[in-house]
């Protein structure tokens, strides 16, 4: 099969790394890719939302499958674009339709969907600039802290959690009247604040049947002990120790099955990943949010634990055999530590030379923000490299990643030294 992966981060390098191992893979292209994906396939300088150029590439390279990494092209309807074009219809697209992508693209759509199909989540209401006063009144009915979410996509930054009522009202006004998150905050969802332990459960589905992937927990805050600003993710662990068979069965019963039932009843064409962000209190899971693609850095711990041929699973989604394909997971623990640029998640410099790759032993490196510059590999983003290691337990896996993190060098390198500390 000739495969095209869209995206440029650690998630896409992990997909490329796994797909390249399949005997079914004949040609592998990544657009735009990074220095890591260039080691296992061919990078193509095309943006993820340049649909016409992607179409031309698929035709010229005789692509059989498109794997969509990030959420933007999904929300913008790339699945529909392929599905409705006679020259592209034969290509298997891993990712939901535009309507399905609204589970992530619109917080209001997502919350309404959960309510309709009895999926446990936080109570909520949505507001626009015309209903700010009602929003302020609703805030007064909730205990602090308060959760305010921009309705649309905001690159993972559209959520505010003010501690005081005064701050919450001010944030609501800023989001709605000053376009704090651009068009994403034309509408704001206010939720009750859920308390407990966060984790993520991932599902791969053809829209009818599904397979539950390994659970994972990521670490969002830039500082140790979960302090400082939110990031795209500083590391991850899989599996989550308390997410045992009984807990996953509960998640399946109360969340996954109703979600799939909802997709069917709403006539939503959904072929790809469902990322279910959960808050767990006293063993009871509630959905914080859906994402319609894999997370990052969660992909870098989940995908390496899949022992089965991932490309074969994807092919099954396309040809109708998905439900019949065996699916095998490693019993070992995987731990990912993210190396980031100094200043991240705020302003940071690019173009720092990265050295030490050959010194790394016993771990897999997934490139996130990197680029090739002649004979050198340089930093090209806030999150630079993900270091993933296996072990019999969290401590063994995470310390292997820490050891190799010390061998990689670039100016301003920073990483959290407490990934997995709370498990």
Longest Cα pair distance anywhere in the chain, in angstroms?
Answer: 60
Minimal CA–CA distance to 366: which of 394, 388, 351, 381?
388
Q: Which fold has domain 2-95?
A: Rossmann fold (3.40.50)
Q: Give ∠ CA 321-25-93 in degrees, rounded to 5.
A: 55
- The beta strand positions in 74-142, using DSSP E, are 92-94, 124-128
Taking the CA of residue 119 as centre, how many other CA atoms within 13 Å lie in the half-sphere pointing to its CB? 27
Q: Could you tell me the residue ranges of all domains in the chain? A: 2-95, 124-191, 197-405
CATH for 124-191, among 3.40.50.300, 3.40.250.10, 3.30.1490.20, 3.30.365.10?
3.30.1490.20
Taking the CA of residue 423 as centre, how many other CA atoms within 13 Å lie in the half-sphere pointing to its CB? 24
Alpha carbon of 74 to those of 113, 209, 360: distances in Å?
Answer: 18, 21, 35
- Element at 73 (helix H, strand E): helix 72-75
d(CA 107, CA 271): 20
Identify the CATH number of the domain defined by range 197-405: 3.30.470.20
| Residue pair 221/230 in contact by the 8 Å Cβ criterion | yes
| Residue pLDDT tens, the chain, 423 long | 999 999 999 999 999 999 999 999 999 999 999 999 999 999 999 999 999 999 999 999 999 999 999 999 999 999 999 999 999 999 999 999 999 999 999 989 999 999 999 999 998 889 998 999 999 999 999 999 999 988 878 666 678 899 999 999 999 998 888 877 777 778 899 998 988 999 999 999 999 999 999 999 999 999 999 999 989 999 999 999 999 999 999 999 999 999 999 999 999 999 999 999 999 988 999 999 999 999 999 999 999 999 999 999 999 999 999 999 999 999 999 999 999 999 999 999 999 999 999 999 999 999 999 999 999 999 999 999 999 999 999 999 999 999 999 999 999 999 999 999 988
d(CA 277, CA 279): 7
Backbone angles phi and psi of 304, in degrees to 5: -60, -25
Other beta carbons within 10 Å of 215: 25
Residues 241-277: b if buried by 16+ CB within 10 A, e if exposed: eebeeebbeebbebbbebbbebbeeeebebbbbbbbb
- Token pair, residue 9, equals 């981060």
**Residues forming beta bridges with residue 337, ordered by sequence position:** 235, 387
């Amino acid at each position: 099969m000739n495969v095209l992966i869209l995206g440029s981060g650690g998630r896409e390098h992990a997909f490329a790394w796994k797909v390249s191992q399949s005997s079914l893979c004949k040609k592998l292209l990544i657009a735009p890719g990074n220095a890591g994906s260039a080691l296992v396939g061919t990078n193509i300088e095309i943006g993820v939302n340049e649909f016409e150029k992607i179409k031309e590439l698929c035709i010229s390279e005789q692509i059989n499958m498109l794997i969509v990494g990030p959420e933007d092209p999904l929300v913008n309807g790339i699945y529909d674009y392929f599905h409705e074009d006679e020259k592209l219809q034969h290509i298997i697209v891993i990712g939901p339709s535009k309507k399905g992508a609204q589970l992530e693209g619109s917080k209001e759509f997502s919350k309404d969907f959960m309510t309709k199909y009895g999926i446990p989540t936080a109570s909520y209401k949505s507001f626009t600039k015309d209903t700010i006063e009602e929003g302020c009144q609703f805030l007064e009915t909730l205990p602090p802290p308060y959760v305010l979410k921009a309705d649309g996509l905001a690159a993972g930054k559209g959520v505010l959690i003010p501690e005081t009522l005064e701050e919450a009202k001010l944030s609501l006004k800023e989001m709605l009247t000053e376009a704090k998150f651009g068009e994403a905050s034309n509408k704001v969802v206010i939720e009750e604040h859920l308390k407990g332990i966060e984790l993520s459960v991932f599902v791969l589905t053809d829209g009818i049947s599904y397979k539950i992937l390994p659970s994972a927990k990521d670490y969002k805050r830039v500082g140790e002990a979960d302090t400082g600003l939110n990031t795209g993710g500083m590391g991850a662990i899989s599996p989550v120790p308390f997410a045992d068979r009984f807990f996953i069965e509960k998640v399946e019963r109360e969340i996954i099955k109703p979600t799939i039932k909802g997709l069917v009843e709403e006539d939503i064409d959904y072929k790809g990943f469902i990322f279910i962000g959960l808050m767990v209190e006293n063993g009871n899971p509630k959905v914080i949010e859906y994402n319609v693609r894999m997370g990052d850095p969660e992909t870098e711990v989940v995908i390496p634990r899949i022992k089965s041929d991932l490309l074969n699973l994807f092919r099954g989604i396309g040809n109708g055999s998905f439900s019949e394909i065996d699916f095998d997971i490693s019993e070992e623990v995987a731990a990912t530590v993210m190396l980031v640029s100094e200043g991240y998640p705020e302003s940071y410099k690019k173009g720092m030379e990265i050295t030490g790759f050959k010194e790394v032993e016993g771990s897999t490196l997934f490139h996130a923000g990197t680029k090739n510059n002649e004979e050198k590999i340089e930093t090209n983003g806030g999150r630079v490299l993900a270091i993933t290691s296996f072990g019999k337990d969290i401590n063994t896996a995470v310390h292997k990643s820490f050891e190799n993190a010390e061998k990689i060098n670039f100016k301003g390198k920073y990483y959290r030294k407490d990934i997995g500390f709370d498990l």
